[in-house]
Structure 1
Amino acid sequence: MVKVASASQADIDWLVREDASAGRAWVSRCVALGEYLVAREDSEIVGFLRFSRFWGKVPYMEMIRVLPDHRRSGIGTALFLAWEKAMRGDGTRLLMTSSECDESRPQDWHRRNGFIETGTIELPGLQSVPEVFFIKHIA
């Protein structure tokens, strides 16, 4: 059974290792601000969701990752649903996320979880393909 909770200081080393593109300073900042959720099975972390706030307001799911041996078992969805519930509890009515245009599996996952495509942006020098953005209205 998967349990999802906010990450704590004790989770930072694991998050730095598994969310390697973020770097220790960013991971520490996000943990301090409550912007990481971790999923545990038998008290072992098996996935995480990192978010921020677009324009300081709209919750933006930056990254969701499940360890390879635990994928396609509902852990990513459990992380997402816990995040959505928390954001709804904060009074949020709109969620955002994105993926690179050539990543069909993540895009399919976003759509299955109620997101709709809202536009793309090219980031020359940062990415080789455009980024597609998704939004989800929540009540």
Structure 2
Amino acid sequence: MVEIAKPGQGDKEWLLREDHHVGEAWVSRCIDLDEYLIAREEGEILGFLRFSRFWGRIPYMEMIRVLDGHRRSGVGTALFLAWETEMRESGARLLMTSSECDESRPQDWHRRNGFSETGSIELPGIQTVPEVFFLKKLD
């Protein structure tokens, strides 16, 4: 059974290796601010969800990643649902996320989990394709 929890400092090396899109300072910051969730089964970490707050207020899912061999088994959904519950309980009324416009599978996943496309922006010099943003209203 998959367990969703906050990582401890002992999980930092794993996160540094697997969340290689950001540097050590950001990983440490997110651990310190409880902005990671990890999925673990029988002691093995299977994936993570990293978030921050857009404008310091709106929970923004920056990255969700499940290791090869564990994808399409419910791990990502378990991470997302735990995060959604935590954000709702903290008083959030809206969730936000994004993906590059040519990433159809992640976009389909966001839509299946209740997100709606809300617009896109181009980031010249950072990405070669526009970033598409999604919102989900919480009841």
TM-score in terms of structure 2 length: 0.99
User: 1:24: Cα distance to partner?
Assistant: 1.0
Aligned position for 1:104: 104
1:129 counterpart SS class: coil
1:27 counterpart SS class: helix
- Uncovered stretches (5+) of structure 2, i.e. residues with no partner: none
In 1, the alpha carbon distance for the partners of 2:3 and 2:12 equals: 18
User: 1:25: Cα distance to partner?
Assistant: 1.0
Aligned residues between the structures: 139
In 2, the alpha carbon distance for the partners of 1:137 and 1:62 equals: 17
User: 1:36: Cα distance to partner?
Assistant: 0.3
Aligned position for 1:131: 131
Question: For 1:6-45, what aligned pairs fall within 5 Å after superposition?
Answer: 6-45=6-45
Aligned position for 1:121: 121
Q: Deviations over 1:72-102 (max 9, x none)?
A: 0000000000000000010001000000000
1:52 counterpart SS class: strand
In 1, the alpha carbon distance for the partners of 2:36 and 2:128 equals: 27
In 1, the alpha carbon distance for the partners of 2:13 and 2:24 equals: 8
Q: Percent identity?
A: 73
- RMSD over aligned CA atoms reads 0.4
Superposition misfits of 4+ residues, deviation over 3 angstroms:
none
In 1, the alpha carbon distance for the partners of 2:7 and 2:133 equals: 26
TM-score in terms of structure 1 length: 0.99
1:76 aligns with 2:43: no
In 2, the alpha carbon distance for the partners of 1:7 and 1:117 equals: 30
- Uncovered stretches (5+) of structure 1, i.e. residues with no partner: none
